[in-house]
Structures are given as C-alpha cells and as structure tokens.
Homo-oligomer: A and B are copies of this chain.
C-alpha cells in the first residue's frame, strides 16, 4: 500500500538499507558506548534508550543482549543492564593482551599479505592522514583509525584472532576516548602509522612488531592519563 521505494540510503550506511531496527541500534549503541556517551558503571534506563534511539522495546533489548555478550555491557538477571566500570587493572590487562595478539597478528600478516594488502594499507594510511588534517569531527577520524589498524593485521589468516583484536580495541577505546583530544601526542602516534606501513611493505616483521609494541605502549600512556584524570 505504501509506495515502497528502495530507501534513499544516506552517506556510508552503518547497517545498510536492509538493516533491521535491532542491528541499527546495536551499531549506534556500540559506537556510543565506545565513544564514552555513557558514564562507566551507569545503569541503563531502557525507556530512556527507547526514546533516544527511537526504537521499540524488542529490538532494543536484542541489541542490549548482544552488547552484553560482546562485553560492552554487564547484564544482571532481573536488574537490567549496566555500563561496565573502568579500572586500572583492566586497562593494563587490555593493553597487555593487545600487545600479545596484535603483535602475533602483525607478524603473520607481514608473512602472508599480498600486494592487494599493500595497496589497501597505503590507502588506509593516506585516508587517515587526510582526515587528520581536515579534523572537522573526530568521529570520522576514529572510524578511519580503526579501519587502519584493522587493515594492518587483516591478512593474519586467523578469523578468531581478528575477532578478539577487534573486541580488545573497543574495550581499549573506552579508556582512550575518555577525555578530549590531545593533538600533541597525537602527532607522534600518527607518524608511527606511516612508519608501520613502511616496515610492513619492507616485510620487516621484527622491526614492525617492535614499532607496534611502542605504538601500543604510547597509546596506553594516553589512555592511562585519560583514566587518571577520569571524570
């Protein structure tokens, strides 16, 4: 009865035009949880979320359940959903795991990545640099940054390793994105992105891993500082 048009689909569809309400809320909530729109430890008021994301109860609850299984929410029987607390211990844990797993993934990626990977890596680094220059809104930079790190380790050959790394990145970013931008250290980290590309193209696994370790350490320092200045 309605003139069912195939939907306009604005720029860069997050869950696609065919996305269900549930998957759209999931994506949106995930972004907001990682980006710090909610305060750690906070109990989520489901009715408020219904309004905020303009969805019904069922798709919302399904999204919340998925996020709980993913580790971005805590679910307690009969008492709803909470945003996980932050702690120094957990930040250390996450950073340590990132060192181990991304290091492993990078070595394997350098061993197996083909020329298509090289091209994509260069492209991802370039887009990231460009976005950094025209730093209108941070959300775009964040997306390209995630994309760069994802591309870097993509050809590691292990679906599960990539899955775990993505999860750790989300968790790590909950700390890193606590406060406002810090352009000072940012420059140094951005330089490392390009150095990483160079070493990857040269297939220097040892040096690349060492640099990635340093990169994660520096990011950790930023995240820790943000956490200690907390809120």
Contacts and interface: CB of A to CB of B under 8 A. Distances in A.
Contact of A78 (B18, B62, B63, B163): B18
A51 B18 CA distance: 30
Interface string A146-189: 00000000000111110110001001000000000000000000
Given A66-B65, A69-B69, A77 B161 contact: no
State how many copies of this chain the complex holds.
Answer: 2
B62 A94 contact: no
Given A71-B163, A77-B16, A164-B164, A158 B93 contact: yes
Given A18-B78, A78-B18, A97 B160 contact: yes
Interface string A100-111: 100010000000
A61 interface: yes
| A: contact size bracket | 35 or more
A177 to B, nearest CB: 19
Contact of A19 (B16, B61, B77): B77
A199 B85 CA distance: 37
A23 to B, nearest CB: 6
Interface of A: 15-16, 18-20, 22-23, 58, 61-63, 65-71, 77-78, 90, 93-94, 96-97, 100, 104, 157-161, 163-164, 168, 171
Given A16-B77, A23-B77, A66-B69, 14 more contacts: A15-B77, A20-B78, A58-B58, A61-B62, A62-B62, A66-B66, A66-B68, A67-B69, A68-B69, A71-B163, A93-B158, A93-B159, A93-B160, A94-B160
Closest 8 CB pairs of A and B: A69-B69, A66-B69, A62-B65, A65-B65, A69-B70, A65-B66, A93-B158, A97-B160
